[in-house]
Structure 1
Amino acid sequence: MSDLGDLQSLASSISAVTSPFRGYLNDLYEKYKSLNDGKVADYIPELALAKADWFGVCVVSRDGQVFEVGNCDQLFTIQSISKPFVFGLALEDCGRDYVNSKVSVEPTGEAFNAIVLDEVTNRPYNPMVNAGAIATADLIKGNGSTERLKRLLEMFRRYTGREHDINVPVFLSEKATGNRNRAMAYLMLNFGMISDKIEETLDLYFQQCSILVNARDLAMIAATLANGGVNPVTRERALDERYVQDVISVMLTCGMYDASGEWAYRVGMPAKSGVGGGIVSLVPGKLGIGTFSPPLDVKGNSVRGIKVCEDLSRDFGLHLFNAAKSDRNLEEWIAGGEGINDW
């Protein structure tokens, strides 16, 4: 980063420390840290090792200010949160028309791991269900499995600004218990939706789900999308601007498993959850939010994460379709300007 970029980053850090928004997040954390609803995912033994009291909340503004509270350094596997971003890489590699010929963008009432395709087109319904995610992983270009994985990890580096590792035990567990996903892959192969590199593509899919991230990474990923695909701290482009709206759109309509409609109605922010306990959400042009808390509800979404996002949306009027002016201006709260006494 240039000297100017370093100074801007320092200024943002100082502002984040003194901002009243930090106090708001602390209060929010205290409000929900004792919430004991939900259950830690255990369908893979490694996931069951997560502690139920882990809880982190991070918000990154479009100008790179970072606000965090709780266990924001705790690493966990990204799981399904990887899906929209691999979809974005597939769009860059193959273009919108070709990707859409292999994967639809329609919400579905079926479970995320349902072995079902669209009866008319034979495409998986959207990139957020497992079948659609496998199809988009199949589209990632590269000369063999190693190069394809390197390109995928490099993509996430651009989003977060740091290198990422894969949790090998989780990857091996996903691979060992992945027969349902293999069934989906062979069904799609039968209809010409994916190539015959079944095991290579499935390994890539299992590996993408096993990437280690923390709540801060999720907030930076979301802020990058909110900033038109450019990382607000490193200033590096992570996603072609043409495809930012594609990724955000499927997050809004399909990103929260079977609760996507309820989420769009109550929270109104594009988001994606994962069974590792993470939720990534954003307000285009404003900020990104990353939450981490392993206990999940019956739909597979983090209980505390949902509560945090509901409060942020309500308190600052962040719902995309909110026509009423909020009593609290988020930009003023972050900057420490007028309006901070309204809380």
Structure 2
Amino acid sequence: MPLMPTLRMTGILAAIALVTGAGPAGAQTAAEIDAALKAAYAKYKDLKEGKNADYIPALARVDPAIFGIALVTVDGKVYTVGDISSEVSIQSVSKVFTMARVMEEQGADAILGTIGADATGMRFNSIVAVEMAEKQLGGPEMNPLVNPGAIAATSMVRGSSRDEIWKSILGYYSDFAGRPLSVDKEVFKSESATNQRNKAIGALMYAYGYIKSDPERATDIYTEQCSVAVSARDLAIMAGTLAAGGRNPVTGRRVLKGELVPRVLAVMATAGLYDDSGKWLFRTGLPAKSGVGGGLIAVSPGRFGIAVVSPPLDEAGNSVRAQKAIADISDALGGNPYAPAMR
């Protein structure tokens, strides 16, 4: 890792702190952080809104009562409340880290030039969006956080075989989480049996040249990456790694080049919560990513990463309790990077 990008990222985080009045980790005391988590948990633990995703049968069978919150500061302190031992499938949260993997291997322009970084304005699994992107002048109008762009991003991960590509992806996720992750085989089997639409998307992306070869393999690997099992704590450490400029704050390991972190966060900010991405950014200012397994991560740059696992979703496919809990906790801790300091 060259010195200058590290210094550049440090300067970015310092600038954010200067504008917002928020210092690096430790702007709040441990007691204040713990209180914010406990208050949100108590407020929403009995909330019954939303329902599990059911278009993948295995997801419909996940316990809807699971509710865990974790927050990781950039200096490596971990705060948790609720159920942080239960694991759910990572689903679309995985898209962030595959995108990061491609950027790490090939640079940010590989994503921008091949897939794009614009919100499509359509459903995350829209086929029409692919057709419209093909007709755009001046470059693609997609992003790696919707299914067509995500399958294309998976196809871009380097490796001489399926096994080598998969080991690269799973190992990268594990580096972000700070522990070896594994696949929920029941979810993978269930999702593989019901992913005909994604297979069609992969074939169409291949037909238009976004995927260069073997779209079936790309779709299969994408399905497997969505089936990786994670807890709220795992997701919070992954988010905390982004908050800390690409260095895992728990293990101390550099996972992503610092200069790439703002690119990753930018795509999360514009397309992280499906159709409600704009509403979420308006409400919280936090780059975030949800998954239909019930996980949601959010990043306060230079401050903390936070994650909630709660399977019941709203109509847009985002965890109901997770959105409410993260918004409350961020408000309590001054996490919004756009909020000016009140003096």
Q: TM-score range by the shorter chain?
A: 0.7 to 0.9
- How far off its partner does 1:245 sit? 1.1
Query: Taking CA–CA contacts closer than 8 Å with sequence separation of 6 or more, which of the two structures ends up with the larger relative contact order?
Result: 2
- 1:175 is matched with which residue? 192
Deviations 1:315-340 (A, max 9, x none): 232222112439xxxxxxxxxxxxxx
- How far off its partner does 1:262 sit? 0.2
After the TM superposition, which residues 53-92 of structure 1 pair with which residues of structure 2 at under 5 Å, given as runs? 53-92=65-104
Name the CA distance, whole Å, in 2 between partners of 1:316 and 1:63.
16
Name the CA distance, whole Å, in 1 between partners of 2:305 and 2:120.
26
Given the alignment of the two structures, is residue 280 of structure 1 paired with residue 300 of structure 2, yes or no?
Answer: no
Residues 124 and 132, structure 1, Cα contact 8 Å, conserved in 2:
no
- 1:43 is matched with which residue? 55
- 1:13 is matched with which residue? none
Match for residue 123 of structure 1 among 117, 133, 140? 140
Match for residue 198 of structure 1 among 206, 209, 215? 215
Among all aligned residue pairs of Structure 1 and Structure 2, give the percentage whose two residues are the same amino acid. Answer: 41
- 1:96 is matched with which residue? 108
With the length of structure 2 as denominator, give the TM-score of the two structures: 0.87
- How far off its partner does 1:82 sit? 0.4
Residues 59 and 287, structure 1, Cα contact 8 Å, conserved in 2:
yes
- How far off its partner does 1:18 sit? 6.3
Residues 229 and 238, structure 1, Cα contact 8 Å, conserved in 2:
yes
Are residues 124 and 209 of structure 1, via their aligned partners in 2, closer, same or farther at CA, if it must alter by over 3 Å? farther
Q: How many residues align?
A: 311
SS of match in other structure, 1:128: coil
Kindly provide the amino acid, as one letter, of the partner of residue 58 in structure 1: A
- 1:294 is matched with which residue? 311
- How far off its partner does 1:17 sit? 11
Deviations 1:252-291 (A, max 9, x none): 1100000000000001100000001010001000100010
Residues 36 and 332, structure 2, Cα contact 8 Å, conserved in 1:
no
Match for residue 38 of structure 2 among 26, 36, 47? 26
Name the CA distance, whole Å, in 2 between partners of 1:168 and 1:179.
18
Name the CA distance, whole Å, in 1 between partners of 2:136 and 2:47.
44
Name the CA distance, whole Å, in 1 between partners of 2:160 and 2:320.
41
Name the CA distance, whole Å, in 2 between partners of 1:126 and 1:50.
29
Residues 119 and 141, structure 2, Cα contact 8 Å, conserved in 1:
no
Name the CA distance, whole Å, in 2 between partners of 1:149 and 1:237.
21
- 2:182 is matched with which residue? 165
Given the alignment of the two structures, is residue 317 of structure 1 paired with residue 334 of structure 2, yes or no?
Answer: yes
Name the CA distance, whole Å, in 2 between partners of 1:17 and 1:46.
40
Point out 4+ residue stretches in structure 1 off by more than 3 angstroms.
121-124
Deviations 1:156-214 (A, max 9, x none): 11111100110112112222211111111111111111122112111110011000000
With the length of structure 1 as denominator, give the TM-score of the two structures: 0.87
- How far off its partner does 1:59 sit? 0.5
Kindly provide the amino acid, as one letter, of the partner of residue 49 in structure 1: R
Residues 240 and 306, structure 2, Cα contact 8 Å, conserved in 1:
yes
Match for residue 241 of structure 1 among 258, 266, 275? 258
